[in-house]
Amino acid sequence: MNVPLHLLSDRLVMRELVLEDAEFIFDLYNTPAFKKFVGDKQLRTLVDAEAYLVDTLVAMYQIPGMGLLKVERKVDNVPIGLCGLIKRDSLNDIDLGFGFLPMWEGQGYAFESANEVLNFAKHVLGIDRVVAITLSNNTPCVRLLSRLGFSYECVQERVSDEVTLGLYGKAL
């Protein structure tokens, strides 16, 4: 039996998602920035969010150490975002993924949770390289990846004449 993943940082608790998190997933995945930069997952109802949560997000936990974790503030257990490792078929390396509710952006939570996940990847999973993908017009994400020590490597995909999906890498 796998023990659910649970990480702690100074201000945050990060844990695996459960069905009761469907409302949080619904709210996060329907924010304008999430739809613009991650994509519209067509979560129109709470039932849609529950199905996506079980079929996609919780399913990621089948690979030990993989999957997006719910990020909560320690002080009040308020859910603020997601952060974790994803094994994508389209990438050779493990991908760092994250997304936060708008009201919690710019307060260092994404940086703190990503650092904790990267330490877990290196010291527990023994991963020596992680990548991240983001749209070229997602300035906050590009800035965060740079702060985390990721370097731009190449265009993964051309989305439009002005926007590309960039691949960033970091040795652990």
**Helix axis angle, 139-147 to 109-123, nearest 10°:** 50
Tens digit of each residue's pLDDT (9 = 90 or more) over 106-128: 999 999 999 999 999 999 999 99
pLDDT, position 3: 56
CATH of residue 161:
3.40.630.30
Q: Of the given ranges (45-59, 63-77, 154-168), which has the lowest mean pLDDT?
A: 154-168
Asked whether residue 125 is assigned to any structural domain, the reply reads yes
Q: Tell me if 24 is assigned to some domain.
A: yes
What amino acid is encoded at 116 in this protein? E
Output the pTM of the full model.
Answer: 0.93
* Whole-number Å distance between alpha carbons of 135 and 99: 13
What is residue 1's predicted lDDT score, i.e. its pLDDT?
42
Residues 56-69 have a mean pLDDT of 95
Residue 10 within a domain: yes
1 assigned to some structural domain: no
Q: For residue 153, what are the domain limits?
A: 6-171
Is 80 exceeded by the pLDDT of residue 102? Answer: yes
CA 111 to chain centre: 11
Position 111 in a domain: yes
Q: Is 65 part of any domain?
A: yes
Classify residue 44: in a domain, yes or no: yes
Contacts of 29 (CB under 8 A, 6+ apart): 35, 38, 41, 43, 49, 52
**Residue 28 in domain:** yes
Given a cut of 80, is residue 138 above it in pLDDT? Answer: yes
Q: How many domains does the chain have?
A: 1
Share of the chain above pLDDT 70, in %: 98
